[in-house]
Amino acid sequence: MAKQSQFKAGRKDVDLLEEEMNPEEKAVFAVLDGSDDEANDEVDDDFLAMLNDGQPGLELVGAKEKAAEQAR
């Protein structure tokens, strides 16, 4: 069962055992405790995509032009 702090103002703090976490919570936990480097890369990519409205964080110079040429 989840443990709750006695803090009454702001956000409720809920601690879960790893066995009680859903897959998404486990992935975030693995990133935050540093135990899964691959998950860290995935979260970085997701975060950058979110910040850039779904666009990649970096684009190769001329990539759009090259893609347009290949589409012809």
pLDDT for the residue 7: 59
Rounded distance between C-alpha atoms, residue 50 and residue 72, angstroms: 31
pLDDT for the residue 14: 76
pLDDT for the residue 57: 65
Residues of the chain with pLDDT under 50: none
pTM exceeds 0.75, yes or no:
no
Percent of the chain scored above 90 by pLDDT?
A: 3
Rounded distance between C-alpha atoms, residue 44 and residue 56, angstroms: 11
Number of H helices, E strands in the chain: 3, 2
Average of per-residue pLDDT values in the chain: 75
pLDDT for the residue 68: 79
Q: What is the chain's percent helix, strand, coil content, to nearest 5?
A: 50, 5, 45
Residues 6+ apart with CB under 8 A from 39: 27, 30, 31
